[in-house]
Amino acid sequence: MQKSISISLFFIAFLLTVGASAQGRYTIKGGDPNGINKWYMGRQIAHVMSHFGIDWLERQEREMEENTSQLLKNLDVKPGMIIADIGAGSGYHSALLSKKVGNGKVYAVDVEPEMIAYLNKRIKQEKLSGIVPVLSKETSVSLPENTVDLVLLVDGYHEFSYPYEMGISMLKALKPGGKLVLVEFRSEDAEVPIKDIHKMSEAQSIKELKAAGFVFEKNIKNLPWQHCMIFIKPIK
């Protein structure tokens, strides 16, 4: 009985420690109405785009506005690669990647069940192969550790409710030496016609992902509106 009580008290103390750590990591305050009242490392977190935004994700102008063809070239996808499309949404990028990985695999990861349902329907309708929809959590990508060659994260990181925890989770999922490609609308460019809270700067992106353990490699500056930042999981 005494041992059971001791274990319970230890577990409670552990949870309180974790909670205090998370509470200290994030700041709760007001700001842009297009964001939630939660800040991380000086940046307000944006509201998540739900499944109601699928039409925008699949808009015909997207190739012209974002030059997705060039982004795919930047990724340098090889047959057999295991890729995680985090915040896959409607599967816009996952569908394109599945045609390049050959016998590889694309994990289409999203936190919203409605997006996963849409992805499953799309895979059947378009007869896509190699795509595995994954329902994630707010704090975890829900993927096995050390299994992914490349993580692609397009216009979604700034909406993570728990960016630090998700950064750690993505780092764990990557193989040592694996890459994370972070694509975000440039906050440094006032001409980019996107709300400020849905943009990120290169400096802020590096600061946040460095805190999760990533090493910044380079920013490929050949997209019309977005950064294309490459981060590496260190080889220990």
Question: Which DSSP string do the residues of the chain spell out, in sequence order?
Answer: -HHHHHHHHHHHHHHHHHHHHHHHHEEE----TTEEEEEETTEEEEPPP-GGGHHHHT-TTHHHHH-HHHHHHHHT--TT-EEEEET-TTTHHHHHHHTTSTTSEEEEEES-HHHHHHHHHHHHHTT--SEEEEE--SS-----TT-EEEEEEES-GGG-SSHHHHHHHHHHHEEEEEEEEEEEEETT-TTS-S-GGGEE-HHHHHHHHHHTT-EEEEE---SSSEEEEEEE----
Tens of pLDDT, residues 5-31: 444 444 444 333 344 345 589 999 999
Q: What is the pLDDT of residue 19?
A: 44
Q: What is the pLDDT of residues 115-148, one digit of tens each?
A: 999 999 999 999 999 999 999 999 999 999 999 9
Q: Decide: pTM greater than 0.85.
A: yes
The CATH code of domain 47-232 reads 3.40.50.150
State which residues of the chain have pLDDT below 50. 1, 3-21
What is the pLDDT, as a whole number, of residue 48? 87
